[in-house]
Amino acid sequence: MGEPVTVNIPHKLGLDEAKKRIGSGIHTLSDVIPGASLTDHHWEGDHLHFTLEAVGQRIASDMHVREDEVYAVLELPPMLAMFANKIKAKLQKEAPKMLE
């Protein structure tokens, strides 16, 4: 099992606007991990499921969009777990930009 990285991203946009902005900015998430690419994403209600791939590793991820926050979870495979703190810091910095 990998290392989960979790981040809460507060916002004041409301549910629908937050989902709209995340949907149009999802491609920027690959910038969180150098060399990563977004390979899949789909919505199930207010949950965005997406997959990033980096250095041959798959990172299964979710964003749970709520009225006043987005809760993001990236499941890092063991090979990337050693970078969990750096990835979390970068995610905390970059993810809010999707909501701008």
Alpha carbon of 50 to those of 12, 30, 81: distances in Å? 23, 11, 18
What percentage of the chain exceeds 70 in pLDDT? 99
H helices within the chain, ranges in order? Answer: 15-25, 78-81, 84-94
Segments of the chain scoring below 70 in pLDDT: 1
The whole-model pTM stands at 0.88
Averaged pLDDT score across all residues of the chain: 92
Identify the three-state secondary structure at position 14: coil
Q: Say what the pLDDT of residue 4 is.
A: 93
Residue 75 phi/psi, 5° resolution?
-95, 100
Q: Say what the pLDDT of residue 75 is.
A: 95
The set of residues, in sequence order, having a beta carbon less than 8 Å from that of 82 and lying 6+ positions away, is none
